[in-house]
């Protein structure tokens, strides 16, 4: 830690950016299309730049940069230009913006339905699907004044933790083309990291927002479950009104302020509930980092992290302590093995809703033939997929008891910090059959799905969880942490992310952002 950061952190106040930081930020944000979303909105509403001008700069950058990354898979340029011109005419005529995202060009994950714009969710079955209605979240973006210019890549039906599909191919990590961008929101995270869009909206069931954000070095928030309507998110299939009981939609961005900006727009009741329901999220619990009671869960025997991540967690722990915050690095909210088993059971169960009848019947028949003592991964999968409703009710009760333990933990702590993943971005394995994939942690082969074990601590229990870029490996790959808060304390989580951003290295801009 350099002297200026150490001194300011010890005093309990956010450190002032150094001259070097100011020069770096000036370089990274000189071009209007590479500025954070909240700065772009301010420039648009003050008429320092027109929406059409910003759009054209964005499109030029996409044309030059996207072919090497393959993050954006669909663009609707003609419609975007018309909407940008309309936004400019509106503010020229009235002097007022249409909403908090007036004239802002954005992309969204290709799992979210967009009226009149192709939505495939990476599946050949939907390669020609053009919805006639926006997903509720997309509608809220448009109502706030955003211009949806295109869609970003996702694995087919969001069913992988890296991003590749037969329709559009593989999305590359902007920091290292041979590494995965993560999944299933790999396209959104890579697009934000490379400056192809200032912010994005993706989805998260089993870390699908948070793993890509960690691997690509950007911020994201998995909001408290239920705050944002998921109607129009695929999967479920087009036309379904319901979604998984663990899926949430959330923002990705290059600053915590932009997470807050998009959260304010996205949160709200579904259209059916809007006549009577209101959502009023509480503000941050505290105004200064030094006043927080911070839990640190740096490692666990169940899912060990690698040396670089251990060093990162040690650094973060030291910085939080030096801020004056009360740090507890010993207690744990829950047992990680118990939590992971409960999550896996519920995840496999919720994934069956749109399984074809014949396929599901085959799984039922296979499950019925399993030996009583068979605890292999395949047996666990089949039993969870085909469990009776009574079994699901018991599993849901176990989830509620876990939620109760987390709630009790947050009576003694304001926030919890964990690793985001065991390692930085792993090698892309799209050419390897799923059952043969693995990751390596300090030289040891580990399960491919260990990548999301830390993230899935909160997926089933509905807690807000943010990814905060926190450093880099020796070879320049982003490293990140996860910040978890109590249910509905989303603004607290974002506030802590902003406090930590003052102490930690900023997001690593790929070459495209450093020009």
- Positions marked active-site: 109, 184, 208
d(CA 382, CA 395): 15
Instruction: Give the alpha-carbon dihedral of 88, 93, 94, 97, to 10 degrees.
Output: 0
Cβ contacts of 456 within 8 Å, gap of 6 or more:
206, 207, 339, 340, 343, 347
Q: Is the CB of residue 472 less than 8 Å from the CB of residue 458?
A: no
Give Dmax over CA atoms of the chain in angstroms. Answer: 73
What DSSP designation does 358 have? H
Residue 409: CB atoms within 10 Å:
18
Rounded Cα distance between 70 and 191, Å, is 9
**Pairing of the two strands 147-152 and 105-109:** parallel
3-state secondary structure 164-233: EECCCEECEECCEEEEECCCCCHHHHHHHHCCCCCEEEEEECCCCCHHHHHHHCCEEEECCCCCCCCCCE
| Cα–Cα dist 221/492, whole Å | 12
Contacts 24+ apart (CB under 8 A), 77-84: 77/149, 79/116, 79/117, 80/55, 80/105, 80/147, 80/148, 80/149, 80/150, 81/52, 81/55, 83/51, 83/147, 84/50, 84/51, 84/52, 84/54, 84/55, 84/147
> Rounded to an integer, what distance in angstroms lies between the CA atom of residue 506 and that of residue 472?
10
| Tokens standing for residue 52 | 């059409």
DSSP bridge pairs for 72: 152
Cα separation, 122 vs 113, in Å, equals: 12
Q: Is residue 415 a contact partner of residue 295, using CB atoms and an 8 Å limit?
A: yes
Per DSSP, the three-state class of 163 is coil
Other Cβ atoms closer than 10 A to 179: 20
| Residue 511 half-sphere exposure toward CB, CA atoms < 13 A | 9
For 478, the token pair is 């982003």
Q: How many CB atoms lie within 10 A of CB 46?
A: 10
CA 151 to chain centre: 16
- How far is 220 from 26, CA to CA, in rounded Å? 23
């Amino acid at each position: 830690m350099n002297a200026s950061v150490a001194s300011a952190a010890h005093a309990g106040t956010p450190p002032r950016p150094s001259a070097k930081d100011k020069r770096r930020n000036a370089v990274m944000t000189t071009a209007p299309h590479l500025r954070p979303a909240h700065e772009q909105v301010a420039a648009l509403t003050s008429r320092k730049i027109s929406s059409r001008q910003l759009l054209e700069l964005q499109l030029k950058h996409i044309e030059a940069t996207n072919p090497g990354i393959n993050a954006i898979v669909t663009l609707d340029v003609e419609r975007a230009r018309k909407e940008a011109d309309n936004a400019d005419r509106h503010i020229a005529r009235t002097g007022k913006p249409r909403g908090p995202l007036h004239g802002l060009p954005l992309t969204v994950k290709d799992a979210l339905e967009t009226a009149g714009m192709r939505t495939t969710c990476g599946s050949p079955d939907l390669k020609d699907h053009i919805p006639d209605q926006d997903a509720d979240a997309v509608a809220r973006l448009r109502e706030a004044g955003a211009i949806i210019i295109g869609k970003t890549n996702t694995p087919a039906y969001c069913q992988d933790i890296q991003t590749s599909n037969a329709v559009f191919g593989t999305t590359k990590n902007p920091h290292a083309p041979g590494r995965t961008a993560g999944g299933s929101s790999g396209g959104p995270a890579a697009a934000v990291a490379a400056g192809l869009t200032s912010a994005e909206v993706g989805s998260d069931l089993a870390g699908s927002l948070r793993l890509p954000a960690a691997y690509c070095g950007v911020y994201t928030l998995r909001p408290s479950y239920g705050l944002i309507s998921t109607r129009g998110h695929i999967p479920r299939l087009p036309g379904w009104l319901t979604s998984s009981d663990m899926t949430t939609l959330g923002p990705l961005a290059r600053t915590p302020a932009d997470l807050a900006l998009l959260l304010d727009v996205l949160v709200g009741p579904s259209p059916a509930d809007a006549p009577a329901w209101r959502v009023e999220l509480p503000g941050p619990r505290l105004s200064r980092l030094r006043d927080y009671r911070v839990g640190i869960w740096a490692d666990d025997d169940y899912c060990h992290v690698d040396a670089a991540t251990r060093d990162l967690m040690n650094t973060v722990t030291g910085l939080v302590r030096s801020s004056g915050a009360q740090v507890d690095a010993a207690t744990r909210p829950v047992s990680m093995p118990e939590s992971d088993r409960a999550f896996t059971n519920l995840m496999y169960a919720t994934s069956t809703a749109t399984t074809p009848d014949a396929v599901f019947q085959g799984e039922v028949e296979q499950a019925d033939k399993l030996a009583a003592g068979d605890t292999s991964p395949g047996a666990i999968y089949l039993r969870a997929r085909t469990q009776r409703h009574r079994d699901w009710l018991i599993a849901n009760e176990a989830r509620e008891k876990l939620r109760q333990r987390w709630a009790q933990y947050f009576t003694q702590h304001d926030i919890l910090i964990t690793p985001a993943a065991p390692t930085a971005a792993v090698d892309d394995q799209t050419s390897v059959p799923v059952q043969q994939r693995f990751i390596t942690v300090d030289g040891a082969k580990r399960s491919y799905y260990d990548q999301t074990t830390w993230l899935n601590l909160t997926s089933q229990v509905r807690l807000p969880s943010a990814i905060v870029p926190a450093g880099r490996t020796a070879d320049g790959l982003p490293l990140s942490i996860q910040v978890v808060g109590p249910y509905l304390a989303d603004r607290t989580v974002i506030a802590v992310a902003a406090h930590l951003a003052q102490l930690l290295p900023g997001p690593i801009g790929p070459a495209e952002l450093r020009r």
